A and B are shown apart, each in its own frame.
Chain A
Amino acid sequence: MNGRLVLSVVAAAVALALPLVLPLFQVTLLVNILIFAVVAVGLVLLTGIVGLTSFGQAAFMGVSAYTTALLTTQAGWNPWLALPAGLALTGLVAWLLGLLTLRMQGHYLPLATIAWGMSLYYVFGNTPALGGFTGLTNIPPLAAFGMNLTSPRAFAYLALLALGLTALGAQFLLSSRTGRAMRALRSGPLVAEAFGVNAFRLRVQVFVLAALMAGLAGWLYAHSQRFVNPTPFSLQAGIEYLFMAVVGGSGYVWGALLGSGLITGLREWLRGVLPELLGAQGNFEVIVFGVLVILTLQFARRGLWPLLERVLPQAPLRLLPERNRLPARQKPVPGTPLLTVEHAVKQFGGLRAVNDVSFELRAGEILGLIGPNGAGKSTLFNLVTGVNPATSGRVTFMGRDITRLTAGQIHRLGLSRTFQHVHLLPELSLLENAMMGGYARGRAGLLASLLHLERREEAALQHEALRQLERVGLEEQAHILAGNLPLGQQRVLEVARALVADPALLLLDEPAAGLRYGEKGELAALLRRLRDEGVTVLLVEHDMDLVMGLVDRLVVMNYGEKLAEGTPSEIRAHPAVREAYLGADVSGEEVA
């Protein structure tokens, strides 16, 4: 048994014992900590993993809490039936808000949630049917196994169960295909979309999921307090949930519990101490919270959990038994046209970055795309990969017109790429990074990932990723973190990740940039091996040593136009190319 598991068992045992041994007052506090932690787990997924945030989680709690309060007191519903109703309403609101804001830059969502949290508070307070600012009372207790959960001790077990399931679901999600895609979103949509993730849809899904967790907490809260009023669902409460995630450690599921415990406990203590100290009544604890969060951001931006995590034993990633292989792609016949660019033009304002460029790439060959800095190579690359489509002209891939397709659609047709600036998930292992490349070969969605119903597919992905790591010579390091690799191997890992997609065409964007001599040699050897295995490659590169010894043909660009095309020896002898690289020979002229 590993250390991590022992620790989990001990923690679970302590958690189960606490409601029985603590004094009643502290059990009530414990119930609140557990309920609030459920909200904070949602924020961990949203903020720490995906890089978005919301100040409106308390308002989502409110929607669900008021739904259950209304349905159970006015319509006589069973509380267990009111839960799905509350969740449905919460999810609907979140979905609408997400649709409105998530296409824009990241700061619009939090601003929208501030406004929404603010309005909802007034809606609760001003609606007579919801009891106005006094709220609704006499909410029935929850009943389970034939008994009413009126005592905090009994309720604590329900809250423990809810938090346990939420946290487990979050952990499951993070160690899944969808979870990896969520992490990839953090640095922006570019990488995620290059592997077929629909960034917008996934963001909306995670936002709704976080809201549903808040909804679950709201339902629990309503039935543990047995009355609701607007205050616990105000914007300020929403802000405090975010503080819990930030202080606890927004990148870690258990950071949510740590933060909830810290903030809730601190509030309880400060509410006793501060009014006495200041000689007045009021919410003075917010001063301490505000300062605490600012200090956390300044000195421990990832929160407090990582400090703890460092001393905890780590759980190794478990390899699942492979039961079936992922279906392989039908590869094009060598020698047939695979990628055709016809009269491509890209206009930025008055500048033609790519001007009437045409070339063809046939299956099985390695084509190099070179040119001096600013020649338009990157723009051409973006237009082939769907990052930034052409102004005019036509791009055909695998017999389909891809000129207007998105990066994800083109990827699914069989184009897989690496990045000029390495884009890996440094906090994940090499294996998990490589698995990201197979995103488009799996189909398990958020729900299946949350429940780990996708283990068969996950196993197939794991083994495919292992095979590709072996292919590039990184199998020994499969379980170390990608962030610990030197750059040369990070680039090789990107190649492995691209190969996991089983591509018909591999696009390499300056794979040698920033590498040392030795590393370049290793990269060249790998690319040569891949060439011999029949992989089709389009290589954009500056390093002539690498390019000349590797490619079958070269396309040279200068000033956005195609300058020359031919074999390496033809290109080397080409006078226009020499001039483009070395500059016009002005030494004979009088320049002064």
Chain B
Amino acid sequence: MDIFDPAIFPVLAADGLTNGAVYALLALALVLVFAVTRVVFIPQGELVVFGTLTLAALQLGRVPGTLWLLLGLLALAAVLEAATQVRRGQAGRGLLTLAGAAGVGGVVWALTTWAAPLGWPLWAQALLTLALVTPLGPLLYRTVYQPLRDATVLVLLIASVALHLALTGLALVFFGPEGSRTPPFAPGTQTLGQVTLSNQSLLVILLSAGLMLGLFFFFGRTMAGKALRATAVNRLGARLVGISPASAGLLTFTLAALIGAVGGMMIGPSVALNYDSGFLIGLKGFIGAIIGGLVSYPLAAAGALLVGLIESFASFSLSAWKEVIVFTLILPVLLWRSLTTRHVPEDEE
């Protein structure tokens, strides 16, 4: 059978679109994070894995290890923040920060340990997963990247890779080596003419499209979204209108983690993920992001969709080589970018 068989082609295309939609979301997050903070956010894929595996743990009635990571980072971030405040002579505020963090941490701990064994419905567990994974973004920004804010892109990239490794190792500690799937949010199938599509695939495509529209609205219409764009366009200009780079960074990483967590729960039913799957998934988003030159959102999303499709067709005809094909794809993309990027000499005043 070849891939153009009318019985096969639409199935592969639908698979490709489903995964491609998730990669596209990741690509958007990567472009956003890079534009606002200059961080090449390699650990984006780990946030996807944390999304899937946290939900899977809740499904089994276990307390997900994500909780301990969240609490640890919260404590560290609170101490760093309080120390900064004390150094500025605001000791009272520092204490307040510590107390606030302890309060929030306590509530999250109590809620998670109480709810985990109760076997809540899927949607409620999904919300709890979002509540556990999304804060990882800003906390990682505060503890890892903010102290490096004056560093070069290269140093930030090395820090990202280091963080990726640390998170992979922690995922292994928390979730063990086995792969997990999560249940589909929409079981069943739809038949459109000759083509049968799972409802979950439709949901993923619709949800991705919805999220992208939401982001489009956020960046185009809201003050916070415009402030992020402004920071990406001109960091100094943004500071001069009162946008603090740190709060822009925190917001960006919050969005990135949110996208990661949602992506993880969307891709969870179709692919079994384990602790170290995040890197591959994140990289596929990256190829999309690189197609967009790390600056163009529509090109990045389109590129990521293409990656999903290529991967889907490759996995049918050359399954063992699918990763090779996907990653070798980066070479012609880089060649294209290399030939189209105008060499700009750095500015000498």
Which A residues contact B (CB, under 8 angstroms)?
47, 51-53, 55, 100-101, 103-108, 110-112, 114-116, 118-119, 122-123, 126, 188-190, 235-236, 239, 242-243, 246, 278, 280, 282-287, 289-294, 297-298, 301, 378, 382, 387-388, 419-421, 509
Contact = CB atoms under 8 A, between A and B. Distances in A.
- Top 10 A-B pairs, shortest CB-CB distance: A290-B166, A287-B169, A293-B162, A119-B327, A290-B165, A286-B169, A115-B330, A286-B165, A115-B327, A290-B162
B23 to A, nearest CB: 14
A251 to B, nearest CB: 13
Given A103-B343, A190-B348, A242-B158, A118 B169 contact: no
B348 A382 contact: yes
B75 to A, nearest CB: 15
Contact of A111 (B40, B151, B162, B164): B40
A301 B151 contact: yes
18 contacts: A100-B334, A100-B338, A103-B338, A103-B341, A104-B337, A107-B157, A107-B294, A112-B331, A116-B327, A118-B280, A119-B327, A282-B172, A291-B162, A293-B158, A294-B166, A297-B151, A301-B151, A420-B349
Given A53-B154, A103-B343, A284 B173 contact: yes
Nearest to A292: B162
A291 B166 contact: yes
Nearest to B328: A119
A236 to B, nearest CB: 7
B348 A419 contact: yes
A242 B159 CA distance: 11
Interface of B: 40, 144, 147-148, 151-155, 157-159, 161-170, 172-173, 176-177, 279-280, 283, 286-287, 290, 294, 320-321, 323-324, 327-328, 330-331, 334-335, 337-338, 341, 343, 345-346, 348-349
B252 to A, nearest CB: 18
A294 B148 CA distance: 9
Contacts of A126: 320-321, 324
Question: Which secondary structure characterizes the binding site on chain B?
Answer: helix
B283 A115 contact: yes
B327 A289 contact: no
A285 B154 CA distance: 24
A289 B157 contact: no
B197 to A, nearest CB: 30
A496 to B, nearest CB: 20
A280 B170 CA distance: 12
A375 to B, nearest CB: 13
Given A190-B345, A280-B176, 19 more contacts: A100-B334, A101-B334, A103-B338, A103-B343, A107-B40, A110-B157, A115-B283, A116-B327, A122-B321, A126-B320, A236-B165, A284-B169, A284-B172, A284-B173, A285-B169, A286-B168, A293-B158, A298-B148, A419-B348
Contacts of B337: 104, 108
A108 B290 CA distance: 8
Given A103-B341, A110-B157, A239-B165, A119 B324 contact: yes
Contacts of A239: 161, 165
A112 B173 CA distance: 30
A114 B326 CA distance: 13
A111 to B, nearest CB: 6
Contact of B323 (A105, A122, A293, A297): A122
Given A239-B161, A286-B168, A107 B324 contact: no
Nearest to A293: B162
Contacts of B346: 188-190
A48 to B, nearest CB: 11
Most chain A C-beta atoms within 10 Å of own C-beta, residue among B40, B147, B330:
B330
Contact of A114 (B283, B324, B338): B283
